[in-house]
Chain A
Amino acid sequence: MKYETQKIAYQYFVAATLLFGLQVIFGLLTGAKYVWDYDPLMNIIPFNTSRAIHINLLVVWLLIGFMGGTYYLVPEEAETDIYSPRLAAVQLYLFVAIGVAAIIGYLAGWSWGMPFLEQPTVLKFGIVIVALIFLFNIFMTMMKTKKWTVIQGVLLGGLVMLALLFLFGIFFVRNLSTQYYWWWWVIHLWVEGAWELVAGSIIAFILLKMTGVDRELVEKWLYVEVGLVLFTGIAGTGHHYYWIGTPGYWLWVGGIFSALEPVPILFMVFDTLRDVREKKIEIENKIPLYWAVGSAVMHFLGAGVWGFAHTLPQINKWTHGTQVTASHGHFAFFGAYVMINLTMIYFAVPRITGVVRKGHGRSLVALRFMVFSIFFMVLALAIAGIVQSYLQRILGMDYLTTQDYLKLWYAVMWVSGWGVVTGVFIYIFDFFSMGRPPKITA
């Protein structure tokens, strides 16, 4: 750590870590409702509430992690302290408060009711304020020195894009098809656009710092990768416009562009491996590197391979709206954004706390537990989804009847879910054993 104010990131990582734990517990609760027909909690936490909390916590903790990562990264790149650490703290408390209000609201039946964007409108405006404070603070920090690196530029670009896109998810539209048209600008253009920019620049920063390869090399490839991500991903939004009341040409445009989306993700794998191979400095703490390489591979499998598998309209027609989508959603979010956040945390936290640990076995146990369990979980969901598509779309079986045939795979999903939770709790324990930051002086 070079700048005192980078410490502010630690609080963000604490919040992210705890919410991650809560998220997977709600995953188990949601999954249990598939395994047992009778739901004793049906009138207290029904499936929809439980699912909303599970996926909201996911998005919120990942965003908090990205913000923490940004607060850690920007001072080092811009070579100056954070403009206002106090504002950064206020922003975190406000965000967490809104998150808590949203969850209590869901439990009380207060919802805006579009998936992932269930937050009631007042709370959405609160989130906009949080985003504005955050962007202001980051921008002012960068303006202090006006040292623009490519890593910083891509990061800022990703964050601004992320905030702007959220605006398309705030307003009520009378026409369901149009509402969903804009809804995908948030959901798709986040994970296959803005978030890739944020994650890409964070990974570039970590690889640069850890391996000591030339900045020019890292930044050149960062440009190429995010350039191809946006080239394929923006028009690739069309893979969600096949069946929602949109014109037929999206079957072509969405199919062709989105089929190319795995290309930049594959580049990222090569890029990561090359940086590690050509490292110029001896790496003492290899943990973040394990996570970075793991993430590159899992990102490619979950988003690239699993995404490609159902992105062409000829296939999507049969799998759309089945457990195939759930399988891909879990794999991609985990491989890309969960693992990148944990990479950042394992990179930054020891540098903030200054605690040097002998051995790092526990982190790798957490990594293995999570990766293997998620893998079984998404395999079970993929099988469930393929069987479901067959029974429902080929044989014409009624939806509820198909569910009886999927029980076994739901059980495998749920048991694997316990493996994920175990891995996450080992990680949480490990996180808190990395020490605390020394008190901020001044």
Chain B
Amino acid sequence: MTLSQGRAIFIWGTVISTVIFLGLTYDSISKMPKRTHAEELSDAVADGKWTWQRYNCNDCHTILGIGGYYAPDLTKVMSQRDPEWTKQFLKDPHKVWPAKRRMPNLHLTDNEIGNLVAFLTWVNGIDTNGWPPKPMAVAAAGSTPLPGEAVFRAQGCSACHKLNGVGGDIGPDLTHVGSTRTPDWIKQQLENPRSHFPNSPMPSFSKLSPKDMKDLVDFLSSLK
């Protein structure tokens, strides 16, 4: 090989790759508004994005899989959590979710919190080519989970309660709760925890819609 052949490889290698890359960039940028449902990108969402940046959330949490690996990925968090729960959590994280690894209280204003939830809700709708993947074990089992399980997750119950070994220690293990409590007792506990345990730190879930409440009670009662 000669120097001028080397130079030709350099020039052509660079040019070809750049042309492909710029061409696809043009195409991507024109398709991304649709894939990210940009028509729903309101001012509140953009303000929420700025709040997200200002508090440097991204150096603890990944989003779209990018960032710090210290805290959960938030790309699809709003499929898992209820907006009201998220707002309360952001107001005082450790009180709502006493996890061992703590999130600091950022002293966010209600306005900032509202914008953040709008932002995360919008991010939740981005078409990510199926990422994060559905856990293989769950996908393989093919079982359709009871609708109440989604309510259980969205309300963050596992912050305090264990189910099959996963969850917090603040409240009792619920793995077999259906074998010791009746559905009516469970419903009563959800609506007014202090009626059973006067000093209970558990919040009331009476705000749940009748359907969510019924699904949740059915789910818990099925845990035998």
Contacts and interface: CB of A to CB of B under 8 A. Distances in A.
B166 A42 contact: no
B1 A175 contact: no
A401 interface: yes
A403 B28 contact: no
A388 to B, nearest CB: 8
B136 A231 contact: no
A281 to B, nearest CB: 22
Contact of A399 (B17, B29, B72): B72
Interface in A153-198: 172, 174-181, 183
A438 interface: no
A361 interface: no
A389 to B, nearest CB: 10
A115 B66 contact: yes
Contacts of B56: 48-49, 52, 106, 109, 111, 113, 118
B145 to A, nearest CB: 11
A403 B101 contact: yes
Contacts of A235: 17, 20-21, 24
A326 B67 CA distance: 10
Q: Secondary structure at chain A's binding surface: helix, strand, loop or mixed?
A: helix
Nearest to B123: A176
B126 A234 contact: no
A242 B129 contact: yes
Contacts of B69: 321-323, 325-326
A179 B2 CA distance: 43
A221 interface: yes
A29 B1 CA distance: 50
B57 interface: yes
Query: Which residue of A112, A115, A251 has the most chain B CB atoms within 10 A of its CB atom?
Result: A115
B184 interface: no
A234 B14 CA distance: 8
A106 B59 CA distance: 12
Contacts of A253: 20, 24
A224 to B, nearest CB: 5
Contacts of B73: 321, 399
Contact of A175 (B21, B24, B41): B41
Contacts of B21: 234-235, 237-238
B45 to A, nearest CB: 8
Nearest to A251: B129
A323 to B, nearest CB: 6
Nearest to A400: B99
A244 B14 CA distance: 25
Contact of A115 (B3, B58, B138, B167): B58
Contact of A247 (B16, B28, B60): B28
B58 A321 contact: no
Interface stretch (A125-133, A291-299, A390-398): A390-398
Nearest to A48: B59
Interface stretch (B30-38, B110-118, B172-180, B208-216): B30-38
A403 B71 CA distance: 10
Given A114-B58, A118-B59, A220-B3, A249 B14 contact: no
A37 interface: yes
B36 A396 contact: no
A43 B102 CA distance: 11
A175 B64 contact: no
A392 B65 CA distance: 13
Nearest to A319: B65
Contacts of A241: 28
B35 A247 contact: yes
Contacts of B65: 243-244, 320-321
B101 A230 contact: no
Interface in A63-84: none
Contact of A43 (B31, B62, B64, B104): B104
Contacts of A326: 69
B205 interface: no
Interface string B135-166: 11110000000000000000000100000001
A111 B55 contact: yes
A401 B168 CA distance: 9
A359 interface: no
Interface of B: 1-3, 5-7, 9-14, 16-18, 20-21, 24-25, 27-29, 31-33, 35-36, 38, 41, 45-46, 49-50, 52-60, 62-73, 99-102, 104, 119, 123, 126-133, 135-138, 158, 166-167
Given A150-B7, A220-B2, 8 more contacts: A115-B68, A216-B3, A221-B6, A227-B12, A234-B17, A244-B65, A245-B127, A397-B166
9 contacts: A47-B59, A52-B56, A111-B56, A224-B10, A230-B14, A244-B65, A245-B35, A247-B27, A403-B101
